[in-house]
Amino acid sequence: MATMYGRINQSETTFGENTFHKNQALTSASNGVSLVQIRRNDKIVASTDASPLSVSGSHWAFVHNFFYRSGSAFSKESEKYNQIYHNFNQHSDLKPFHKNKFTESGSVLYIPQQYFGERIQPGSFEFTIRTGSADNTTRQIIIKDDKNGNLFSSNANISRSGTTSISSSDNYIGNIYYDLGVAVLTETASALHTPSTASFTVKSMLTQSIAASNHFFITGSDEIPIKFISTASVATETDTATIKFFASASTLAVTVASASKKINVVFNNNHIIASASATTLHLTNDANQLTSRITSNVGSNLGPISGAGAFTTHSGFGGGLAAVKYTDIGGAKGRLSRNYDFYNVKFNSTTPIFTSQYSIKIPSSAFNVSMNPTVRIPVSGSIPSGSSVSTFANLKNNLTGSGWSPYFNQVQLFRDKTGEEPILVANLPRAVQKRDDIDLIITFRVDH
């Protein structure tokens, strides 16, 4: 291989960085990915002070200490823990990073760095959690990030505030730490709930003056039945904890409206809501009216409605599905139907590529000869002792014209001219002819 040397002008060398993103799709079966429920002071042996923390308790302590110190006892001792410098992941007060919901329970998702590279690209995170099986989409929870490190559910039908954004300090459900591949779910309220409903038609009831002649029972979420009694003498009756009176009237429609009003007063529009339509009484187990957005009914439907007189019925609530709480994510022992430990995670990984660019100028007056021995006519016979072969060996006839110039197909970078192995080789896509009338500039980049 023929080689000729030149020098690189350092001013023609540049160094830069380019960022590349790649779509990543992981599942609960992906190697290294884990979803853990966290509980404060959860110990291997419950109610034993000397017992070490369980896995759940240890992860809660880790998350609390490293990410939520501004909400810990340290913040009460020193104001510095409440400043932005101790709020990991928040880089600007103009982009709020909420941490006001870290409590005694939650879940944390860990993603190994082999998947996200330098960091997870903000705005690309999507976490879909399912119960029952990996392909059950009936009651899945979809969680996304808002580019500022706050997590929110894009398909939840329960929120704490209907007047603020889904990632506001009211409605956000956790945080994601892009540089570490850690997502923490801190909300304790419900995400999904399908209200159950019931209705029955009141028949052949006249004005009644005898209490308890016509009544019905509603069993609420506390499993204590409440007896509602229709009577014309409602003004003289006194309600108790489990017996409520409402006025009967000369028409069924007015009596049903009275019953509906009484039910809403008793339940205070919370958990059970009633409405009247002619002679039909409608009841709804309404999740959107729940205190703290948590349903106290852990089953799908409330119990049957039983009664006597015109209210004789055994129809009950139906069509409902039990509420899904964010604290169910990661699994719940003994509650297989709410065992949310199947999931998919999608995001864009971030990988920086550092690039060096070299520009080599080849002057028209240089490198116009060839060291390739095949361009010369072989010497026949002997030459004088001590003489150089080049003195007696001429170029081939077809290479002696004024239009001839050599070709090259490779540029090699060396530390010096000692002839050691090149530290970098740039192969040209095709052979390039060296010209003696213009300078040539070869530019190439190296990723590293």
Q: Considering only CA atoms, which of 81, 80, 79 is closest in space to residue 68?
A: 81
Contact 440, 432 (CB under 8 A): yes
57 C-beta neighbours (distance < 10 Å), count = 18
Contact 348, 22 (CB under 8 A): yes
Torsions phi, psi for 40 (to 5 deg): -70, 135
pLDDT band, residue 72 (cuts 50/70/90): very low
Across all residues in the chain, what is the average pLDDT?
A: 80
Mean local confidence (pLDDT), 300-327: 79
Is 213's pLDDT higher than 80? no
Torsions phi, psi for 325 (to 5 deg): -95, 150
pLDDT in tens, 331-384: 654 444 557 888 999 999 999 999 999 888 888 888 877 777 777 776 666 666
CA atoms within 13 A on the CB side of 302: 32
Per-residue confidence (pLDDT) for residue 69, from 0 to 100: 73
Amino acid at 12: E
Is 155's pLDDT higher than 90? no
Residues 6+ apart with CB under 8 A from 204: 310
Straight-line distance from the first to the last Cα atom of the chain, in angstroms, rounded to the nearest whole number: 27
pLDDT in tens, 270-288: 678 899 999 899 988 764 4
Tokens of 234: 């409602």
Angle, CA of 416, 422 and 423, to the nearest 5°: 95
Torsions phi, psi for 93 (to 5 deg): -70, -15
Is 203's pLDDT higher than 60? yes
User: Model's pTM, two decimal places?
Assistant: 0.69
The helices-and-strands tally (H runs, E runs) of the chain is 5, 22
Is 1's pLDDT higher than 50? no
